[in-house]
Amino acid sequence: MRSLTPYVCASPANAYMDGGQYADAVREYGKLLRIRRHDFTSTYNLAFSYQQQGFYAEAIEAYKQALQLAKKPDDTKDTFINLANCYARTRRYKESLAVYAAALRYFPGDPTLLHNMDVVRRLSGSGDR
């Protein structure tokens, strides 16, 4: 599910994303980011649009960039989760678990993070905690 992260105003990118037209959203967020390279929301939404299309390598890079741009802890939780999910989708379970571990440093004991981490452990065949 998409995060309720604030939108960048006056952009057709948001309408494309909300309408499930992710390829068009990617194009428009790319345009926005050429103007505002350090915009967290556009970077996050670009990553989400890549993820929805199954372009996990591109989504991973964009989510990593979004984490660097995040100014508030609230921005990072969904970003961590989506980044870890992209790693898991590409069977990069160690990286996924490392992202969840990093997220737990900011959100200790978070039930969603702990649950998702357990799912990735099961997928990887590692029941270790």
Domain borders along the chain are 9-70, 72-129
Tell me the pLDDT tens digit for each residue of 48-97: 999 999 999 999 999 999 999 998 878 899 999 999 999 999 999 999 99
Architecture of the domain defined by 9-70: Alpha Horseshoe (1.25)
CA-CA distance, 43 to 16, in Å (whole number)?
15
Domain 72-129 of CATH type 1.10.8: no
- What gap in Å lies between CA 4 and CA 31, rounded to an integer? 22
The model's pTM: 0.86
Which residues neighbour 65 within 8 Å (Cβ) at sequence distance 6 or greater? Answer: 43, 47
Stated as kind and residue range, the H or E segment containing 102 is helix 93-106
- Residue 64 Cα to chain centre, angstroms: 8
